Amino acid sequence: MKSILLSLFLLSILEICPNPYGSDDAEYVKFYCPSECVLSDGEGVIEAGPGVHIAARNKTAFYRHFGFIPDIEFSKNFSLSNSGEEVCVNDECFFYGRDIEFLDEGVVYFSKNGSWDFRYEDWSDFEIITDFVSGRLIITPSNYRFDKPAMVASYTFSEETINAEELFIDASPPNVPCKELELDRPVHFLASSSYRNFHYKFAVSDSFVIVTTENWRFAKKGYIIEFESQKIAGRLKKLLQNDLRYESNKPQRCSHWKKAEVDGEGKEITFESSVTLFILPDRNPVFDFISSAKKRLYIRVPYMDFGWYKSGGLFDAIKGAKDNGAEVVVILDSVYGRRSETIEKLEEIGVRVTFDEKIHGKAVVADDRLLITSANFNMFGFKLNREIGLIIDDAGVANFVAEDMMKSEHKMPLYLIPSLVAFVLSLLILARTKDKF
Ligand SMILES: [Ca+2]
Ligand SMILES: [Ca+2]
């Protein structure tokens, strides 16, 4: 029974890699034949018996590239175009470059649970992990200082903010403080053609973990979460170890911006609950998290973009929550979040959209759970960048953050104040006029 159910979700074409890094001779198709079948690209055909097969253009080139021997070599006339084409097993087809429009070198298209997706050959595949921890959440702005020596990752940051032993930074962020370039500690600048930006922000010291939405400058509205966990610390160390393969040259330019001074500690709450770490683009639980909301869905992010490389995505996830009957509120930054296309689409399905100043952190409250992430709410954040995020399964924390979101949400936008003053004045005048009679 189980195997029948499984086969319902199994497409015959499992993977296509038309343009591997280096030589095209290593290009391949991985496919599954329930019985005898024919693999075709419209120009050449390959016949195969039942089972899972890998057909490569050249067995030796494939072995050199991937480290094992494929069982089939391409027949004459069969080859995988680097500009997209349709490949079929019997009458089941996938058109790469059209069904999914990503034709970069190193892209592998793959099917999972009956739908298509893509990754790059060199992307890692870290699973989602959960641990029960006691910790602390801080809502910034905050004059937060972290004084343990740690491995610290950031898109960019001010050297003054942290006491890092070892730094991992994107090699081409918009602003590299010149101080970073002068540090005498190991600084790893990361760059890759497959991960567009190394945008994560966290620190690991032994088993102590800090995950934040901010670039170690806490002047804007965002989040810091601290806790002890061997398991999550271990995973984050592995992530840094993995990403060291992308170490590149120092940035050529830097800027002398000043650290924004913050007065005040920020609001905080402690918690004991299960915490889930996800690493993007490896595994993305954000859309399911959003569409799971049944009572309330509050999203506070600087901006949103619904462009996505296939069906589904962020907009469908939000609509899912709306369809569940949840109250849905989206709070965007009053400067960066005013994209009419996004706002109109949300308002069309009955989402309340409001604005607040100086939002940088990305947070979602879905019923009694909180999700925070470094990822911006667009395709770079959810699919192309290196990002991480946490889900905290705790009603107290979710309420604390929800209240903070709603408080700022109800704040009067500045541009309405003059008209409000005029309105109150006219009421006063009217009341006086009435008094006379
Ligand atoms: Ca090719
Ligand atoms: Ca072809």
Q: For residue 53, report the distance from its CA to the centre of ligand 2, in Å.
A: 18
CA–CA distance, 13 with 87 (Å, rounded to integer):
8
Q: For residue 195, report the distance from its CA to the centre of ligand 2, in Å.
A: 28
Which has more pLDDT, 220 or 426?
Answer: 220
Residue partners of 33: CB distance under 8 A and separation at least 6 = 12, 48, 49, 50, 51, 53, 89
Ligand nearest to the CA of 43: 2
Ligand nearest to the CA of 79: 2
Q: What is the DSSP letter of 405?
A: H
Contact 210, 152 (CB under 8 A): no
Contact 219, 141 (CB under 8 A): yes
- Which residue(s) pair with 16 in the sheet? 29, 109
Ranking 233-242, 248-257, 287-296, 328-337 by mean pLDDT, the lowest is: 248-257
Quick one: the chain helix, strand, coil %, rounded to 5?
A: 25, 35, 40
Q: For residue 42, report the distance from its CA to the centre of ligand 2, in Å.
A: 7
Tokens of 306: 């619904």
CA–CA distance, 431 with 383 (Å, rounded to integer):
59
Instruction: Give SS3 for 40.
Output: strand
310: nearest Cα among 60, 49, 135, 118? 118
Q: What is the pLDDT of residues 168-218, one digit of tens each?
A: 999 887 777 777 677 777 889 999 999 999 999 999 999 999 999 999 889
Q: For residue 106, report the distance from its CA to the centre of ligand 2, in Å.
A: 17
Q: For residue 283, report the distance from its CA to the centre of ligand 1, in Å.
A: 27
Q: For residue 126, report the distance from its CA to the centre of ligand 2, in Å.
A: 33
Predicted pLDDT of residue 161: 65
Predicted pLDDT of residue 362: 98
Q: For residue 85, report the distance from its CA to the centre of ligand 2, in Å.
A: 7
Predicted pLDDT of residue 436: 36
Specify the amino acid at residue 201.
K
Contact 224, 140 (CB under 8 A): yes
Mean model confidence pLDDT for the chain: 90
| Average pLDDT for 334-359 | 96
Which has more pLDDT, 424 or 22?
Answer: 22
Q: What is the pLDDT of residues 387-415, one digit of tens each?
A: 999 999 999 999 999 999 998 755 544 54
Predicted pLDDT of residue 88: 96
Q: What is the pLDDT of residues 128-164, one digit of tens each?
A: 999 999 999 999 999 998 888 899 999 987 666 667 8
Q: Tell me the pLDDT band of 433, cut-offs 50, 70 and 90.
A: very low
| Average pLDDT for 85-106 | 95
Ligand nearest to the CA of 16: 1
Q: For residue 32, report the distance from its CA to the centre of ligand 1, in Å.
A: 21
